[in-house]
Amino acid sequence: MTDSDGAERIVIIGSGPAGWTAAIYAARANLSPLCVVGIPRSDPAPVLPGGQLMLTTEVENYPGFPNGVTGPELMHHFQKQAERFGTRVCDDDVVSCDFQAKPFALKLAGGKTLRARSVIIATGATANWVGAPNELRLAQSGGGVSACAVCDGALPVYRGKELAVVGGGDTAMEEATYLTKFASKVHVIHRRDSFRASRVMQDRLFSSSNAVAVWNKRLVNVLGGERIEGVELEDTVTGVRSTLAVAGLFVAIGHSPATDFLRDSGVALDANGYISLETRSCSTNIEGVFAAGDVADAHYRQAITAAGMGCQAALECERWLAGCGIH
């Protein structure tokens, strides 16, 4: 809903679990939110409206779906529910924001500028990929390549099988430790001869008898047709190539928050580019600007936690608007 001066009461940037949940709550509060859902792109890695779940096949850990649901289907349900209550959709990308003056100004890739009384940023974060052949193809098709062990590792297709994790930081240790509960063996592939992860995380992983380190190896290819059959590795010291037969590959080399468009906006970011929030809040350092989901959460990165933050952000935004006399 726009006010007499053409400003939207609330603009939500992003269309993953956080964005759509915020839209549902804002719409039910009669704020008629506008959701800027983004533009599909494929370089350097696929990014689709709907977030990372659009690249996920089976989702078994989202409440309410006892038999599981595909990521795209889940996001379709989210969007339809938000639209049912009056959420409007803008098929564009926000490329820059001016939060210094009010109403806020949001410049779109298509050239238009939106003006908004309040903004919820829910643009998420994208997984970093190695860039090996077949990696993204098998990730997108559900062929046994994933960037989230907690999301996918418990699926029946991985149980009792040999799996591989690529990475050497705390995230890789955490992902591999989780997989040891289900796999017959977990190979942790790292391009150096030591991990950069904290010692406590390493000790926790290698206290499991089915975890093994694969030192000085670089992933150069993912092998398999419809499903992964193994990985091709290159020794970073000798250059010799070898193959490792695995039934699943989990890439754990970090995530990149989608915050480039916030450069020079004044929104506070942490050292890794994630939005900094006020304690126990979805409020940013700028009044009227809120954030939710993976763009502000480098720890959990789950659909359910993102949705919860979307709810919080919408409630906080609604109360902030009410305090400004906007209903």
Q: Which of 35-49, 94-108, 162-176, 259-273 has the lowest mean pLDDT?
A: 35-49
Q: Does the pLDDT of residue 1 top 60, yes or no?
A: no
What's the pLDDT band for 4 if we cut at 50, 70, 90? low
Residue 71: inside a domain, yes or no?
yes
Q: Does the pLDDT of residue 326 top 80, yes or no?
A: yes
Residue 2: inside a domain, yes or no?
no
What's the pLDDT band for 48 if we cut at 50, 70, 90? confident
Q: Domain boundary at 197, 227, 251, which?
A: 251
Residue 227: inside a domain, yes or no?
yes
Q: Domain boundary at 236, 251, 266, which?
A: 251
- What is the pLDDT of the chain when averaged over all its residues? 94
Dump pLDDT digits (tens) for 72-125.
Answer: 999 999 999 999 999 999 999 999 999 998 999 999 999 999 999 999 999 999
Q: Mean of the pLDDT values across residues 230-247? A: 98
In this structure, are residues 180 and 203 in contact, taking their beta carbons and an 8 Å threshold? no
Residue 134 shares a structural domain with residue 247 = yes
Q: Does the pLDDT of residue 191 top 80, yes or no?
A: yes
Residue 268 shares a structural domain with residue 187 = no
* The dihedral formed by the CA atoms of 24, 127, 195 and 249, expressed in degrees to the nearest 10: 110
In this structure, are residues 310 and 293 in contact, taking their beta carbons and an 8 Å threshold? yes
Residue 94 shares a structural domain with residue 178 = no
* 260 backbone dihedrals φ, ψ, rounded to 5°: -60, -35
Residue 272 shares a structural domain with residue 303 = yes
Residue 6: inside a domain, yes or no?
no
Residue 1: inside a domain, yes or no?
no
Q: Domain boundary at 251, 278, 299, which?
A: 251
What's the pLDDT band for 51 if we cut at 50, 70, 90? confident
Residue 154 shares a structural domain with residue 234 = yes
Residue 175 shares a structural domain with residue 65 = no
Q: What is the pLDDT of residue 177?
A: 97
- Model pTM? 0.88
Residue 260 shares a structural domain with residue 117 = yes
Q: Mean of the pLDDT values across residues 200-217? A: 96
Termini Cα distance of the chain: 11
What's the pLDDT band for 40 if we cut at 50, 70, 90? confident
Residue 22 shares a structural domain with residue 104 = yes
Residue 157 shares a structural domain with residue 269 = no
Q: Whats the size of the chain, residue-wise?
A: 327
Domain extent, residue 166, equals 129-251
Residue 3: inside a domain, yes or no?
no
Q: What is the pLDDT of residue 45?
A: 64
Dump pLDDT digits (tens) for 13-32.
Answer: 999 999 999 999 999 999 99
Q: Which of 2-6, 151-155, 242-246 has the lowest mean pLDDT?
A: 2-6
Instruction: Say how far apart CA 324 and CA 250 lie, in whole Å.
Output: 47
Tokens found for residue 288: 């009227």
Who wins on pLDDT, 310 or 54? 310
Which helix (H) or strand (E) segment holds residue 250: the answer is strand 248-251
Residue 149 shares a structural domain with residue 213 = yes
Q: What is the pLDDT of residue 47?
A: 78
Residue 74 shares a structural domain with residue 20 = yes
Tokens found for residue 152: 């996918």
Instruction: Say how far apart CA 290 and CA 255 lie, in whole Å.
Output: 21
What's the pLDDT band for 43 if we cut at 50, 70, 90? low
Residue 57 shares a structural domain with residue 144 = no
Dump pLDDT digits (tens) for 258-279.
Answer: 999 999 999 999 999 999 998 8
**What's the CATH number where 208 sits?**
3.50.50.60
Tally of domains within the chain: 2
- Report the catalytic residues: 148, 151-152
Residue 4: inside a domain, yes or no?
no
Who wins on pLDDT, 179 or 279? 179
Q: What is the pLDDT of residue 57?
A: 74
Q: Residue 319 to residues 64, 95, 206, 290, 324: CA-CA distances in angstroms?
A: 29, 27, 48, 12, 9
Residue 84: inside a domain, yes or no?
yes
Q: What is the pLDDT of residue 2?
A: 63
